[in-house]
A = this chain, B = another copy of it.
Amino acid sequence: MTTIYDVAKLARVSAKTVSRVLNESHLVAEETRQRVLEAIEKLDYHPNVIAASLKRNRSNMIGFVVPYGSEFVFQDPNMMEQLRGTHDYVSAAGFELIVSVPRHKEDALQEALRLTKNRNVDGVILYPSYGIDQIIKEFQAKNLRYVTLGICFDQQKSNFVEVDQTPGSYFATQHLISLGHRRIGLLNKSASFFMYNRNDLLEGYVQALKEAGIAYIPSLVREGNFTFEDGYEQFMSLYKEHPDITAVICASDPMTYGLIRAIFDLGLNLDDIQVVAGDNLPLTQKLFPHLSSITNPSYEQGRQAGRMIVSIVNEGRGEVPGIILNTEFVARSMHSVVNR
């Protein structure tokens, strides 16, 4: 196996000079540099990054740790968008991305700690889930690098990238009201996903209703865990209780698919119930091009988390201010109630 010393010998310089050419070329005389580069080329030399990592105490790897199990993660298009955003940023910044989905979701946080403490990675991106406040305290106490996708605990001021869904649901509700809808359902995310966060989707919905002078009826709001199945079942139950419902806003695209399937199974179609999709994913736009949608900046969220962890690692900072991204609303349909 060819090492830096083989290159040094062939180029008639010291190992350190080879190292300089590799890492800080500008500190080396051009002539020497060329000789070294030739030797590298001739020997097909590839620096051993593991050795460099040991010396530098830096692995140039970032961990992406998610709970919920692999069948959820890799099949959830939003999580894939987040992962994609992180991958793109982090790899452009010269880091490798380690994706880790622990077997049991309870292990996720320990896994993140393990990756970091073992110096496998320079920092991790994490999902808030049960028990994370303790883990974050440990990260902070030990000065380990982390960023969370969402807020972990009350008063958290730093190291998070959150999405505020208030604007999306507010404008969606407003739009539906302007089309004449009065009985508007909301398939909300479930309370267990809020962590210490406010119930933003509901807030936007309630505010828009209030401004229009429409009574807020709690039973028009159902909760689910972002899945197809929840979307299906919650709408079935919602429709049973409120057969006069004319529009529904969804918290996620998978829920939207479940809702649409339920609509078809009830013998209805998308003209009977006005649906607002939850994420505005490419696939949803293609499959159901006429659906209005809340947009969810998943890719950007992952990307920002990547940017944040890279800057934390590169600049040695322990904390950087948290970021809040906003949802938007895209109107695509003009079906009003009276037109039906």
Contact of A219 with B by CB under 8 A: no
With both beta carbons as reference points, the residue of chain B lying nearest to A64 in the complex is identified as B99
Contact of A49 with B by CB under 8 A: yes
Chain B residues with CB under 8 Å of A178's CB are: none
Verify A87–B114 contact, CB threshold 8 A: no
Q: Which of these, B54, B59, B84, B257, contacts A71 with CB under 8 Å? A: B84
Distance in Å from the Cβ of A262 to the closest Cβ of chain B?
Answer: 11
Query: How many residues of chain A get a CB closer than 8 Å to chain B's CBs?
Result: 47
Chain B residues with CB under 8 Å of A73's CB are: 84
Verify A287–B257 contact, CB threshold 8 A: yes
Verify A88–B114 contact, CB threshold 8 A: no
Chain B residues with CB under 8 Å of A92's CB are: 103
Contact of A239 with B by CB under 8 A: no
Q: Which of A116-124, A185-193, A204-212 contacts B (4 or more CB under 8 A)?
A: A116-124
Known: A49-B118, A83-B74. A261 touches B287 (CB 8 A): yes
Within 8 A of B (CB), among A51-105: 51, 53-54, 59, 61, 70-71, 73-75, 77, 80-81, 83-84, 87-88, 91-92, 96-101, 103
Verify A258–B286 contact, CB threshold 8 A: yes
Chain B residues with CB under 8 Å of A83's CB are: 74
Given contacts A91-B100, A97-B100, 18 further A-B contacts (CB under 8 A): A46-B114, A48-B54, A49-B119, A49-B120, A50-B50, A54-B54, A70-B84, A70-B87, A74-B80, A74-B83, A74-B84, A75-B282, A80-B80, A96-B120, A97-B99, A98-B98, A99-B99, A228-B286
Verify A50–B48 contact, CB threshold 8 A: no
Contact of A266 with B by CB under 8 A: no
Q: Which of these, B101, B117, B228, contacts A46 with CB under 8 Å? A: B117
With both beta carbons as reference points, the residue of chain B lying nearest to A281 in the complex is identified as B75
8 A-B pairs with least C-beta separation? A74-B84, A46-B117, A74-B80, A49-B118, A50-B53, A50-B54, A96-B98, A70-B84
Contact of A321 with B by CB under 8 A: no
Contact of A29 with B by CB under 8 A: no
Query: Can you list 30 A-B pairs, Cβ within 8 angstroms, ordered by A?
Result: A46-B117, A46-B118, A46-B119, A47-B118, A49-B118, A49-B119, A49-B120, A50-B50, A50-B54, A50-B120, A51-B54, A61-B98, A70-B88, A71-B84, A74-B80, A74-B83, A74-B84, A75-B77, A75-B84, A80-B80, A91-B100, A92-B103, A96-B115, A97-B99, A97-B100, A98-B99, A257-B286, A260-B287, A261-B286, A261-B287
